Amino acid sequence: MKVDLWLAKLDEVPEEDGRDLAREEMERADRFVRPELKMRFLKRRSILRKLLSEYLDIKPNEIVINQTILGKPYVENPKAQIFFNISHSKDCVLYGFSNESEVGVDIEFLDEEIEAELISNHFFASEEISLIQNSKGKLKSEAFFRLWCIKEAYIKLVGKGLTFPLDQVLVKDTMEKPRLEIPAVTNDQPFESLSCIYSNWLPNFGIGVVVQGNHLEIEYKQYRG
């Protein structure tokens, strides 16, 4: 399964006026009190539409973007099959696109001061908690983010949001080739097979990608406006 990963650094992207956005998107933008947050939203959504227009051969302002009841975005009646997902952290936005299968992506700033054990005790499976507890120094936060990014990417893949219990998403072999195990007891595994990767493509950030199917192939791309 091939996935295009696009990275945009919003501080390096020209300002947007929202001319390509739908009325609902502009209404959301206007709800931001701080101008810099409004501009980041305008940039994120404008970039999404510009990238989608390349895959679908449609003008950005003609694309109809809808979302599920739990907030997973999708294109309404696309001219060609396209699956996409978005994640952002700090000034960085990650876009994942595939014309073959559903995709989930997550990007996180690697905060070495993260309270890894405290958070893992609430959201991780016992096997993963042991991994965090047995990791020392910088390796503790690194192990935490490898787990967290892949879990988040899976949650976004299935479109369940945080209604899906993270401790039921078990990430195995995190330091080599990670794989996912979703216990059958959850009765909530919509895909027969899954592939995932964790990447440090961008310094100081962790990236998780999960797709339906086997043999995940990633092409990394930089958006420059």
Q: Tell me, what's the pLDDT at 185?
A: 38
What are the residue boundaries of the structural domains of the chain, listed by start? 10-84, 105-223
For 91-103, the pLDDT digits (tens) are 999 999 999 999 9
SS3 184: helix
Which CATH architecture group holds 10-84? Answer: Alpha-Beta Complex (3.90)
Fold of domain 105-223: Ribosomal Protein L22; Chain A (3.90.470)
CA-CA distance, 71 to 59, in Å (whole number)?
A: 24
Angle at 109 between CA 195 and CA 115, to 5 degrees: 95
Q: Tell me, what's the pLDDT at 184?
A: 43
pLDDT above 80: residue 175: no
Give yes or no on whether 10-84 and 105-223 have one common fold.
yes
Q: At residue 197, what is the residue type?
A: I
Question: Which tokens go with 31?
Answer: 């709800």
pLDDT band at 174 (very low <50, low <70, confident <90, very high): low
Q: Tell me, what's the pLDDT at 78?
A: 76
Q: Tell me, what's the pLDDT at 53?
A: 96
For 177-223, the pLDDT digits (tens) are 777 776 543 445 556 688 899 999 999 999 999 998 888 899 999 99
Cα–Cα distances in Å, from 212 out to 82, 89, 99, 106, 192? 14, 24, 12, 16, 8
For range 17-40, the mean pLDDT? 96
Q: At residue 73, what is the residue type?
A: P
Q: Tell me, what's the pLDDT at 79?
A: 78
SS3 8: strand
For 29-71, the pLDDT digits (tens) are 999 999 999 999 999 999 999 999 999 999 999 999 998 887 8
Question: Which tokens go with 135?
Answer: 């990791």
Angle at 52 between CA 89 and CA 223, to 5 degrees: 50
- Whether pTM > 0.85 for this model: the answer is yes
Nearest to residue 42, comparing CAs of 51, 29, 32, 30?
A: 29
For 84-133, the pLDDT digits (tens) are 999 999 999 999 999 999 999 999 999 999 999 999 999 899 999 999 99
Question: What is the DSSP-derived secondary structure letter of residue 60?
Answer: G
Q: Tell me, what's the pLDDT at 180?
A: 77
